[in-house]
Chains A and B, each alone.
Chain A
Amino acid sequence: QQQVKQSPQSLIVQKGGISIINCAYENTAFDYFPWYQQFPGKGPALLIAIRPDVSEKKEGRFTISFNKSAKQFSLHIMDSQPGDSATYFCAASMTGYALNFGKGTSLLVTP
């Protein structure tokens, strides 16, 4: 049973546009929600993370929005650039347990 569901599977955005990736989870005990970015041939790397006691976290052009009641969180990439083209994974976990990853979103930002 997949604990974190991610959509869309792929996304094409024009340079300067907003990229939005959504995730939903079932386990209300999850207390950590990170997003990872992966470039081809590389391992994933942490991009940004949020805890359930805040509704939004912003780091540069990247923002996580968190809706605890709906059990959903999303990644917004403002002013998307070709260098943002990568695969993005959302994840969730409880303290003391391993991360549960979504299936990933392949983002292509066109010039």
Chain B
Amino acid sequence: NAGVTQTPKFQVLKTGQSMTLQCAQDMNHNSMYWYRQDPGMGLRLIYYSASEGTTDKGEVPNGYNVSRLNKREFSLRLESAAPSQTSVYFCASSKLAGGRNEQFFGPGTRLTVL
């Protein structure tokens, strides 16, 4: 099992460009998450999908959109990238949302917006 995979690993964008970060899991998990990690800020939840067909905003959703394509895949889209979106993005999945369910994280996508 590959676990949680993310593509790309690195990306450099210019302000105003758009891109989609891809995430897939092969653990048959119901819930999937997108976080961003910035120095001194910890992991902040952008969006999550408790189950296929549902998505909910997290702590920092502005400037992002998500699509739960199917049970395996959860993508994050930046429509018009801004320098403030320079960050490391992590996708995660868990069997169920919250309470007593281990989240498994992908290796991250390091995004720089110039």
Contacts and interface: CB of A to CB of B under 8 A. Distances in A.
6 contacts: A42-B108, A93-B98, A97-B98, A98-B45, A98-B98, A100-B45
A6 B35 CA distance: 18
Interface residues of A, number: 26
B29 to A, nearest CB: 13
Interface of A: 6, 9, 31-32, 34, 41-46, 49, 51, 89, 93-104
A93 B31 CA distance: 14
Given A31-B99, A49-B102, A51-B100, 20 more contacts: A41-B107, A41-B108, A42-B108, A43-B4, A43-B106, A43-B108, A44-B90, A46-B104, A49-B100, A95-B98, A95-B100, A96-B99, A97-B98, A98-B33, A98-B97, A99-B98, A99-B103, A100-B45, A103-B41, A104-B43
A9 to B, nearest CB: 7
Contacts, number: 69
Contacts of A34: 102
Nearest to B31: A98
B58 interface: yes
Given A43-B105, A96-B50, A98-B58, A32 B100 contact: yes
Contact of A96 (B40, B58, B97): B97
A44 B50 CA distance: 20
A68 B101 CA distance: 20
A34 B101 CA distance: 9
Given A43-B90, A51-B100, A98-B33, A9 B40 contact: yes
B102 A98 contact: no
Contacts of B53: none
Contact of B48 (A31, A49, A98): A98
Contacts of B99: 31-32, 93-97
